Amino acid sequence: MTITATTTYHPVEPLVRDLRDYIHRDRDRTTAFHTAINTALYPHNGGAHEMAREGIRSLDDFLCFADALLRWVPRVTTTGDELLNKIVVFYWVIDQPALRGWQTPFQPTASATDLTWLSYWLVCFARQQGQFLHSRESAASLYTFYLNEHYNSEAGGWEEPAGGWRSFNHWFGRRWKDVDAVRPVAAPGDEAVVVCAADAVVERWSTLTRAGEVMVPPTTTMVTTAMVNCKSVVWPVDRLLQGISRAKEVYGGGSFVHACLGPADYHRQHAPVSGRISQVRNIQDQVYLQIAKKKEGRGLRPDRGLQRDAKEEVRRDRMPCKGPRILDAPDNAGCQWCQTRGVIVIQTEDFGRVAVVLIGMAQISSVVMTVHEGQWVRKGDEISYFQFGGLDVVMVFENPVRFREDLLPGISRLNVREELAVFK
């Protein structure tokens, strides 16, 4: 493959024209973007099939793809989940090592800092796509979700608005007709029982050091020794809970759990405990998605974990080069510290504070709070919802909890309001 100096595609959307102009104002940037396309297309990297499916063979093709994505009407077919696939392909290119130096580092130390031009452009791209998904036009293919078995298994329980769905996002944040029937609250009379805040796969849980740093042990065994870091990166809870008063002192020695939602999940969150809402905060940060090869078979997958296996670490440490090479997505785990997110702190009567962190992913970075400071919530009450996509939820406990013994990291899927843990 050869690197060309210019593009011939003329974007329709002003935002994509801005990206094209940014790329070509600097020779090194032009080279970096063409190299990113080349390595994204290289078969051994795992994304060639997805790139071909979207018709991306060059930088021009990628700009055309980005142009169309801003006004793409979400739909699904029986052969795949286009909703997720298009986001994966978009970030597969952005996530190539050749573009690493043009973006704000995806590490906790970069949280709450000014973004680079490209990282801020990604924020603007996500906002513009989100605006379209609030339009009536975006709801044109909602019928495909009702026909798709990946999405429709519980469609009979969805609350249908009298006037129909106003937009894709209106449908995406749908409620249940009777949440108590489909998602009953575990142990409603026992405040020591903590319930899951969302329909999600539980990815990782751990203790916090007394210094307020997240410990990520290699197994489910909870560790109580001194600081443990992940890939030489320390994960301080005060960065995660940015702007929440005395976070390091309050949550040091407590517990931490990270869970992931998928695009087909119910996207409203409910209180894991009863108590008074002491703080509500939206944190505008990066919008990003790290991409990795699937562990089995060909293709790509979103990578949202706090840890990586050894093979992924080796792949990600390889430096970008001018020609095609076996490369993978850059940066370290821990996107939860750097993504746009919302934080809700609940003050319980007997078990201290519980922070619920609602984390955006890539284009799916809209977090809508449905509670306010000073409000009393019962365990299981609705507190927030996401719009468009698969998001993450993190819970941080001031007092340690004992998680269910049957949980398997990255495998166990819990429903919202289902028992997750018990205060010690």
Quick one: 74 and 97 in the same domain?
A: yes
pLDDT for residue 46 is more than 80: yes
Domain end: 121, 146, 172, which one? 172
Evaluate whether 142 touches 171 at the Cβ level (below 8 Å).
Answer: yes
Domain end: 152, 172, 192, which one? 172
Q: How far apart are CA 265 and CA 25, in angstroms?
A: 42
User: In a 3-state reduction of DSSP, which class is residue 270?
Assistant: strand
Quick one: 229 and 362 in the same domain?
A: yes
Above pLDDT 90, what percent of the chain? 52
Q: How far apart are CA 279 and CA 371, in angstroms?
A: 10
Q: For residue 372, give both structure tokens.
A: 């306010």
Q: How far apart are CA 363 and CA 356, in angstroms?
A: 21
Quick one: 112 and 125 in the same domain?
A: yes
Which alpha helices (H) appear in 183-309, and where do they start and end? 237-240, 247-251
Domain assignment of residue 419, yes or no? yes
57-98: pLDDT as tens digits: 999 999 999 999 999 999 988 666 787 788 889 989 998 999
Number of structural domains the chain divides into: 3
Quick one: 197 and 306 in the same domain?
A: no
Q: For residue 206, give both structure tokens.
A: 């751990």
Quick one: 73 and 198 in the same domain?
A: no
Quick one: 312 and 395 in the same domain?
A: no
Evaluate whether 60 touches 9 at the Cβ level (below 8 Å).
Answer: yes
pLDDT given at position 3: 45
365-415: pLDDT as tens digits: 578 899 999 999 999 999 999 877 557 898 999 999 999 999 999 899 999
167-190: pLDDT as tens digits: 999 999 999 999 999 999 999 999
What average pLDDT does range 16-34 have in this prediction?
Answer: 97
Domain end: 172, 194, 228, which one? 172
Which helix H or strand E contains 351, and what residues bound it? none
pLDDT given at position 342: 83
The DSSP result for 198-222, as a single string, is SSEEEEEEEEB-TTSBB---SSS--
pLDDT for residue 221 is more than 70: no
Phi, psi of 380 (to 5 degrees): 100, -10
pLDDT given at position 324: 34
pLDDT given at position 107: 57
Q: To 5 degrees, how large is the angle CA 414–CA 418–CA 419?
A: 105
Q: For residue 424, give both structure tokens.
A: 């010690």
Evaluate whether 146 touches 152 at the Cβ level (below 8 Å).
Answer: yes
Q: How far apart are CA 219 and CA 42, in angstroms?
A: 34
CA 145 to chain centre: 21
Domain assignment of residue 264, yes or no? yes
132-151: pLDDT as tens digits: 999 999 999 999 999 998 89
Mode of pairing for the β-strands spanning 382-387 and 341-347: unpaired
Domain assignment of residue 397, yes or no? yes
Quick one: 238 and 346 in the same domain?
A: yes
What average pLDDT does range 338-342 have in this prediction?
Answer: 63
Q: To 5 degrees, how large is the angle CA 200–CA 245–CA 254?
A: 50
Evaluate whether 30 touches 23 at the Cβ level (below 8 Å).
Answer: yes
Domain assignment of residue 177, yes or no? no
Domain assignment of residue 358, yes or no? yes
User: In a 3-state reduction of DSSP, which class is residue 1?
Assistant: coil
Kindly indicate the confidence band of residue 244, based on its pLDDT and cuts at 50, 70 and 90: confident
pLDDT for residue 31 is more than 90: yes
Quick one: 271 and 295 in the same domain?
A: no
Kindly indicate the confidence band of residue 219, based on its pLDDT and cuts at 50, 70 and 90: very low
Phi, psi of 370 (to 5 degrees): -115, 15
Kindly indicate the confidence band of residue 241, based on its pLDDT and cuts at 50, 70 and 90: confident
Above pLDDT 70, what percent of the chain? 74
Among 25-34, 305-314, 415-424, the range scoring the smallest mean pLDDT is: 305-314
In sequence order, which residues have a C-beta less than 8 Å from that of residue 293 and are 6 or more positions away? 45, 46, 47, 299, 300, 301, 328
Q: For residue 393, give both structure tokens.
A: 């939820």
pLDDT given at position 109: 56
Quick one: 206 and 270 in the same domain?
A: yes
Q: How far apart are CA 267 and CA 368, in angstroms?
A: 11
pLDDT given at position 363: 52
pLDDT for residue 156 is more than 60: yes
The DSSP code for 114 is P
Domain assignment of residue 113, yes or no? yes
Residue type, 219: T
Q: How far apart are CA 177 and CA 186, in angstroms?
A: 19
Domain assignment of residue 328, yes or no? no
Of 95 and 28, the structure prediction assigns the larger pLDDT to 28
pLDDT for residue 304 is more than 50: no
Quick one: 155 and 204 in the same domain?
A: no
Domain assignment of residue 322, yes or no? no
Quick one: 406 and 354 in the same domain?
A: yes
pTM of the model: 0.80
Q: How far apart are CA 67 and CA 86, in angstroms?
A: 12
User: In a 3-state reduction of DSSP, which class is residue 266?
Assistant: coil
The listed range with the strongest mean pLDDT (116-125, 271-280, 364-373) is 271-280
- Count other C-beta atoms under 10 Å from residue 309's C-beta: 12
Quick one: 277 and 401 in the same domain?
A: yes
Residue 156 is part of which domain span? 137-172
